[in-house]
Structure 1
Amino acid sequence: MATRAYLVGALMFLIAAAAGPVLPDWVVSLATIAFANALVVLGLVVMWRAGLVSFGQALYYCVGAYTVALFARWTGFTDAIALVLLGGIAAGIVAVLVGFLLARYREIFFAMLSLALSMILYGVLVKTESLGSTDGFTVATPTILGFAPRGDALGRALYWLTLGVGAVCAVLIGAYFRSVAGALAAPIRDNEIRIEFLGVSASRIVHVKIFVAGVLGGLGGGLAALAIGHVDPNMAYWTTSGGFVFVTVLAGAGSIAAAFIGSLCFEAVRSFAVDAMPSLWQLTLGSALLLTILFLPDGLGSLLTRRRKSGEASS
């Protein structure tokens, strides 16, 4: 089944990549942001499978974005691939450090502490005039492997880069889910004491999950910063984290692909709702979430898992 999932994922990736040259510019831009944010959602899925809900993933998203913007600004180095990797590394370091605190807590305490840490970063950025305070600052125009595309060509290059990073992360997270640490997510969620009796440190596994989610958040933030061309403290604000949690509920934790599909659906619905009903777009998003909870309590990913199970039963 893993091989089949890889083949389906590879097909979806090739279709999305091949469609790049013919998609309208606004669709390319929307999809780039959606797939960048999907990496943050994928990190939330990693933790959600262990019963952990973080309302502070914007912390890593913002760290990745500001790392990309500041490194390009201070050094003049603009290669997009290297900058995104640096964003992921910086966010991973932050995740390791805060993980020593967060890994000790569960449930609402975990959620609120993660939110508090994100808001601390927001407050620091707002008060730092050298970083643009509330206005933030622009990100230098990136290059890719020595090439310097501009305009529409740059947008499509970043779209393909985001697809590539997303595909690599999806493969790695799939391998992680099949590893011992990944397989222990459900036992940690259901009965953590039994895991401890087996001689396995649940806190250490949770710490690893925080790190993985932090790296994914940093990669997503770095890609978003390059695509938007601007960073500001709102990237660390609680509403940004809430949006990621919204998409995670919409997507569900049953499928890696659902994180990308859910993020794309969220961005599409929000864009059309803002355009059609500027004063009521929140109502549209809330209604979409309500309908998902009522009719698909396990998220969009449950549709994929149901189809897979029905295929196994028929065979």
Structure 2
Amino acid sequence: MHIFRLPGSRIIKTGTAVFITAIICEALNWPPVFAVITAIVTIEPTVAASIQKGLIRFPASIIGAAYAMLFTYLFGHSALTFTLAAVLTIFTCSKLKLDAGLLVATLSAIAMIEVTEAHFAQAFFTRLGTTSIGLIVSTLVNLFIMPPDYSAEISKKLHVLHTKTSRLLIDTVDALLEEKHADSFKFIYQSDQHLFEKTETLCHFQREEWRYHRSTQEERRKVHFHVKKLETLRQIHFHLGNLLTLDPEPLFWNYTQKERIRQSVLILASFIEDPSKKQLERPLHECMQPIIEEFWYAKAEAGAESEEMNRLFSIEISLLYELLAIFELAEELESHSIFLQKQSSPPLYDYRK
């Protein structure tokens, strides 16, 4: 266990923005508290988000400051002043769709009431100045100091998703082949869903950063294929969710048939875990032949039974169909990996020169 850890980039950038903002405000003899609050909340995961939300927070702050000074002038430091300033700031920002700046504007308005005794116009314009300083400093810090780079984190999370998806496939199919409920894996499935969402968010952040920072063609290509792999894994995960909803029933397969299916699933799961590794002695399509054969056999046998049971698909057909759908998506993963490897490999030396 690590007792002492180096602070993350966002903590460092927040501290830097606060320090610079406070220094500037002190040099101008302005109260730094409002500028510091603005600087703290303007440090976003990406530069694009800092700029976009900064453009929203500035007018929201103007609204909050205006209400604070108006009601302080009319009613002094009374309960009515605090109430009206807070309620009307929230109402106005909501109506103008300035939700990203609503909280900061409201808190700053309440704080301004307490520290303003007179010279309301001066206090209002000072508030605008400090807000501008906080926004500008924090945006520049986010742009130039430790600019965000999520590519390594995306690769790491993708590797985890490959492993977790592979493991979930094995466990789910084992439970169904043993004619047991797979309910115990639904929590893992939901946890994986959250990891997918986090990884997709990081991909979005990385693409946003390309608008403000230079990137090589190789870096862009790598993230592009990360996104493609993530989408394919998402689809595999969807079919795993379908498997988890199947109700276990007695299967007509004997032990030998179940083992053939299980062995094919183990190979498929191993391939999903690392589609770039040359670990198969035979092509994946050939390894999946037992499942393909069992699927067509089950369809042929299920015709009369499905009419008697008033059901379109048996448990065997449903299970095999989802496995075949996952198999096709696994081949997509292979194509992504092969293409990325070809793009990343060094060019051949031209001996004719």
Taking structure 2 as the reference length, the TM-score comes to 0.26
Structure number with greater Rg is: 2
